[in-house]
Amino acid sequence: MVAEKLQYSSVRLSKVAVSETHGEDSPYFAGWKVYDENPYDELSDSDGVIQMGLAENQVSFDLVEEYLEKHSANIGNEASTFRENALFQDYHGLKSFRKAMASFMEQIRGGRAKFDPDKIVITAGATAANELLTFILADPGDALLIPTPYYPGFDRDLRWRTGVNIIPIHCKSSNNFEITRESLESAYDEAESKNVKVRGVLITNPSNPLGATIARPVLEGILEFVTRKNIHLVSDEIYSGSAFSSDEFVSISEILEARKYQESERVHIVYSLSKDLGLPGFRVGTIYSYNDHVVKTARRMSSFTLISSQTQQLLASMLSDRQFTESYIKTNRERLKKRQQMIVSGLENSGIKCLRGNAGLFCWMNLNPLLNECTKEQELELWKLILHEVKLNISPGSSCHCSEPGWFRVCFANMSERTLEVALKRIHNFMSSRNLCS
Amino acid sequence: MELKGSSNLSTLASSNDHGENSLYFEGWKAYDNDPFHPSRNPKGVIQMGLAENQLSFELIEDWIKKNPQASICTPEGVQAFKDIANFQDYHGLPQFRNAVAKFMGRVRGGRASFDPERIVMAGGATGASELLMFCLADRGDGFLVPSPCYPAFDRDLRWRTGVQLLHVECKSGNNFQLTKQSLEDAYENARKANIKVKGLIIANPSNPLGTTMDKATFKMLVKFINDKKIHLVCDEIYSATVFRGPRLVSVSEIIEEIECDRDLIHIVYSLSKDMGLPGFRVGIVYSYNDKVVSCARKMSSFGLISSQTQYFLASMLSDEEFVGKYLSESAMKLANQHDLFTRGLEEVGIKCLESNAGLYVWMDLRPLLKEATFEGEMDLWRVIIGDVKLNVSPGSSFHCHEPGWFRVCFANMDINTMRIALGRIRKFVVQESDQVLQVKKQKRTSKRSHGLTLSFSSQMYDETCSSPRMLSPHTPLPQSPLLRART
């Protein structure tokens, strides 16, 4: 019935579709592929690649499971509320969910900041939240300033469909990658010299990949800078619940509250449950803005990326249970701290130093002494070696736009302690073979 | 230095392209302020502007009771919690993709089959249509869309993408069917305006018309896009709401019957309408173009479906017995509700476009317009909202080229509420017919002292409708049987 299939010359897709800005050709993703082909398994493939490139939190899952087992009879009684919930597509999001999120965020900050549920906008993950904010704060061709090293996914999330540029704020190991006034000014000047309009600064606090919180005076300095330049500040605080001690994490929200919210209209916070609660599959992201116009616009835009009402309902229950949340936050911090100490001391025994960290699901490891030449190419060679011979997928600093070669991000919370021991052993053997152990 | 209001935000954020200033939403506000409730607020506004399918929830609720393991929150299902909560792969759960592909095939009566590898997730159909625009068109490019069309396309397809929408007007004269001439005209107009047309988007079944596209027209359409080498996006989100013949002809069938470049063919799907689950944000992009699948999948990171929801739906939609039962009962309930409503309207002389699908009817209120203009339509609409207290959607918000048409939803209420709505309509029509007759009598007998000067706020100005010719006693006006009976 169908005529002989004709040959068609391919019709062009959009520029966005054919661009490489999705970033998936970077080493960050190449390592995953090697892992996928030969994943480590304690029993069936003890020679496989150990995934240390994925910042996931699996150390406290049992607490969530315990909560569910205790409450599943209640939460699971879904037939009776099903209809109402299935119909709920209001882009304001479930009020109970927003209240629970606001309360959870307050608890993480030790009560040092208050969050108004009506300023919370829901999005399907922090990925969507960051992109959405970029659409609202900047026009195509404009720029956001981001301190390096930064999360590789930002290249896609902030730039791909928005057409916005990222200009790096270069941070150096000599002062522990602190964001200095000079580095901010320098990045801003770079933009000006290219005739690019800077619309804001985006920081991740606690930092990915550094695994460290940003100190209060530094935050104040950044706030002073954005105020002076009359630009926005986005603070991605998705690792806030993963700071090892509540006292060491200072959120921008605390600083604003202490100043009675002066200049707060330029500040916006991104949060998610993917890291702190280990629920990346649920796509739970939020934007918190002190700017009513941003809240209103973000809410409208969230139509493209709402959170499933089923998931909102589940989390509203879970996060409004203070007994659960307080115990979870405390225990999670303790376990992450212990895990980090384990990997840092293990690395030290192998002659490897890490940046002093106090948060997150990873540590920032310095393999610079191992480089033949202090270049990006040599770093990638070392990375490939570690991937194929040591069989560890770790993330090279260059994929995080680090200006100094030789740094690597190593995740420690997405595996069991036993697997971590195996990984440390492999590193130790590798370093021994190079006569580099202390 | 103060960051005032919107002064320091993007152009996008400061524009009105979010579309919420349209009438489509004004009616909702009237409803929100005074919502109908059978006992608590029986005189409130009845919501007939929301295309939701609420008729078949019992079937789903029943299934849930019998299948507790489908939920990761129940004692029976909680052991799956950890793996599911951790699953963020943008390929989606394999069992979810398989179940959706199978479901889509069943909805089309097995006349087409879908490859699970081509199924890409998105944040509802809203997210899916926008995503396809990002893949297929650049800023400033154009996409043709037959009108009347879904109002939110203005936001979904244009707001963040910068794509322009070019309406292909369909007219009541031939029951709003798409014609080759109108397509050619629209394409040519775009060319003259120097707009690069990258594709065409249709909704089949149509929103707001409630009709499915016939095979001949569809083949003409596919031939058209194939000749012009432009993309075809078929929004088939109402595919399972077909409640009567003619049966749905999906683009997936057409391409098996006529020769075309499959790289041009893309489908948007969702479970929000067919299954009444808008809260679950289940949007699907299905493309026959490998590059688009690949690009769309990467983009889906911005709107993935919650793994909890994927897991639940994978279980429900792969229950073949349930699916069969659901599809047939849902269609039956929609048919009954549709017939009850249209019969009630007919009894008071109101006609609707003949339809076989959708959750709404396309109601012809041209006879009730005091003036055959969009201003007249707006006046009538405000009366319907304010006095009759029904939130219906005026045709102008659907970019209809002629005034007097309204979309009225019937599947989001029970029969009692519908009877109340019909009662209100009945009362109103009787009053209005009297009044319209009076007005028309006056206009015929009075001298034409002033022409039709319209201080127009509407953007939908259409010259042919405001011509004095329309009000001449010699021009045959469309009249309801009720009016005829009285003159």
Annotation says B187 is catalytic: no
- B interface mutation test: which of A201, A303, A304, A318 has the most B CBs within 10 A? A304
Searching chain A, which residue's CA lies closest to the CA of residue B226?
A8
Which residues from chain A sit within 8 angstroms of residue B61, using beta carbons?
79, 82-83
CATH number for the domain spanning A224: value is 3.40.640.10
Q: Do A75 and B306 touch (CB under 8 A)?
A: no
State whether A39 and A82 are in the same domain.
Answer: no
Structure token digits, residue A431: 């370093």
Cα nearest neighbour of B159 on chain A:
A301
For residue A67, tell me if it sits in a domain. Answer: no
Q: Which residue of B has its CA nearest to A263?
A: B2
Residue A11 forms part of a structural domain: no
Active-site residue, selected from the candidate residues A142, A155, A157, A236? A236
Q: Which residue of A has its CA nearest to B16?
A: A297
Are residues A262 and A174 both part of a single domain?
yes
A201 & A281 share domain: yes
Do residue A344 and residue A386 come from a single domain? yes
A-chain CB neighbours of B82 within 8 Å are 61, 65
Q: Does the distance separating the beta carbons of A124 and B304 come in below 8 Å?
A: yes
Q: Do A309 and B302 touch (CB under 8 A)?
A: no
Q: How many domains does chain A have?
A: 2
Catalytic residue among B24, B154, B156, B273: B273
Query: Hey, is A193 helix, strand or coil?
Result: helix
| Domain extent for A378 | 21-62+329-431
Inter-chain contact A56–B127, Cβ cutoff 8 Å? no
Contacts of A7 (CB under 8 A, 6+ apart): none
Closest to A86 (Cβ–Cβ): which among B81, B82, B277?
B277
What does the pLDDT look like over B390-446, one tens digit per residue?
Answer: 999 999 999 999 999 999 999 999 999 999 999 999 999 888 777 766 766 776 665
A159 and A54 co-located in one domain: no
A76, B73: Cβ pair inside 8 Å?
yes
Q: Which of A28, A150, A151, A288 is catalytic?
A: A151
| Shared domain check, A246 and A110 | yes
- Determine whether the interchain pair A78/B71 forms a contact, defined as Cβ–Cβ distance below 8 Å: yes
CB contact under 8 A, B126 and A303: yes
Nearest residue of B to residue A138 by CA position? B10
- Minimum-distance CB partner of A14 among B75, B137, B229: B137
The residue of A36, A201, A303, A313 whose CB has the most chain B CBs within 10 angstroms, and thus the best one to mutate to test that interface, is: A303
Q: Which of B135, B276, B305 sits opposite A14 (nearest CB)?
A: B135
Q: Is B150 a catalytic residue?
A: yes
Contacts of A6 in chain B (CB under 8 A): 259, 261
Residues of B in contact with A224 (CB under 8 A): none
Task: Compute the distance between CA of residue A273 and CA of residue B333 in angstroms, rounded to an integer.
Answer: 40
- What's A407's domain CATH number? 3.90.1150.10
Closest partner residue to B10 (CB to CB) among A88, A138, A291 is A138
- A310 and A402, same domain (yes or no): no
Phi-psi region of A164 (alpha: psi -120 to 50; beta: other; left: phi over 0): beta
Let me know if residue A13 belongs to a domain: no
> Is the Cβ pair B281, A307 closer than 8 Å?
yes
Q: How close B271 comes to chain A (CA, Å)?
A: 11
Do residues A126 and A255 both lie within one domain?
A: yes
Q: Would you call A161 and B160 a contact, using CB atoms and an 8 Å cutoff?
A: yes
> Are A355 and A385 contained in the same domain?
yes
Going along chain B from its start, the domains and CATH numbers come out as 11-56+325-485 (3.90.1150.10), 57-319 (3.40.640.10)
Asked if residue A5 belongs to a domain, the reply is no
Same domain, yes or no, for A39 and A129? no
Are A136 and A272 contained in the same domain? yes
Please tell me which of the candidates A17, A65, A83 has its beta carbon nearest to residue B57: A83
- The domain boundary residue, chosen from A324, A355, A384: A324
Is B192 among the residues known to form the active site?
no
Q: Domain boundary at A297, A324, A351, which? A: A324
Residues from chain B that touch A282, judged by Cβ atoms under 8 A, are 85, 306-308
B267 carries an active-site annotation: no
- Select the residue from B293, B304, B414 to test the A interface by mutation, using most A Cβ atoms within 10 A: B304
The residue behind tokens 């590193």 is A427
Residues of B in contact with A1 (CB under 8 A): 256-257
Same domain, A386 and A259: no
Tens digits of pLDDT across chain A (438 residues): 444 456 777 778 898 888 877 777 777 677 888 888 899 988 888 889 999 999 999 999 999 999 998 887 676 556 678 999 999 999 999 999 999 999 999 999 999 999 999 999 999 999 999 999 999 999 999 999 999 999 999 999 999 999 999 999 999 999 999 999 999 999 999 999 999 999 999 999 999 999 999 999 999 999 999 999 999 999 999 999 999 998 899 999 999 999 999 989 999 999 999 999 999 999 999 999 999 999 999 999 999 999 999 999 999 999 999 999 999 999 999 999 999 999 999 999 999 999 999 999 999 999 999 999 999 999 999 999 999 999 999 999 999 999 999 999 999 999 999 999 999 999 999 999 987 665
CB pair distance less than 8 Å for B13 and A297: yes
A437: in domain: no
Q: Is residue A392 part of a domain?
A: yes
Residue A15 domain-assigned (yes or no): no
Three-class HEC string of chain B: CCCCCCCCCCHHHHCCCCCCCCHHHHHHHHHHHCECECCCECCCEEECCCCCCCCCHHHHHHHHHHCHHHCCCCCCCHHHHHHHHHCCCCCCCHHHHHHHHHHHHHHCCCCCCCCHHHEEEEEHHHHHHHHHHHHHCCCCCEEEEEECCCCCHHHHCCCCCCCEEEEEECCHHHCCCCCHHHHHHHHHHHHHCCCCEEEEEEECCCCCCCCCCCHHHHHHHHHHHHHHCCEEEEECCCHHHCCCCCCCCCHHHHHHHCCCCHHHEEEEEECCCCCCCHHHCEEEEEECCHHHHHHHHHHHHHCCCCHHHHHHHHHHHCCHHHHHHHHHHHHHHHHHHHHHHHHHHHHCCCEECCCCCCCEEEEECHHHCCCCCHHHHHHHHHHHHHHHCEECEEHHHHCCCCCCEEEEECCCCCHHHHHHHHHHHHHHHHHHHHHHHHHHHHHHHCCCCCCCCCCCCCCCCCHHHHCHHHHCCCCCCCCCHHHHHHC
Quote ipTM for the complex: 0.95
Q: Is residue A45 part of a domain?
A: yes
Q: What is the mean pLDDT of each run of 10 residues along chain B (487 residues)?
A: 62 82 75 93 95 96 95 91 95 98 97 97 98 97 98 95 97 96 97 97 98 97 97 98 97 96 98 97 98 97 98 98 97 98 96 98 96 95 94 95 97 96 93 72 57 32 32 33 33
Nearest chain A CA: its distance from B284 CA (Å): 13
Structural domain ending residue among the three candidates A324, A349, A382: A324
pLDDT score, position B24:
63
From the list B68, B258, B279, the residue facing A85 with the nearest CB is B279
pTM confidence score? 0.92
Cβ of B229 within 8 Å of Cβ of A10? The answer is no
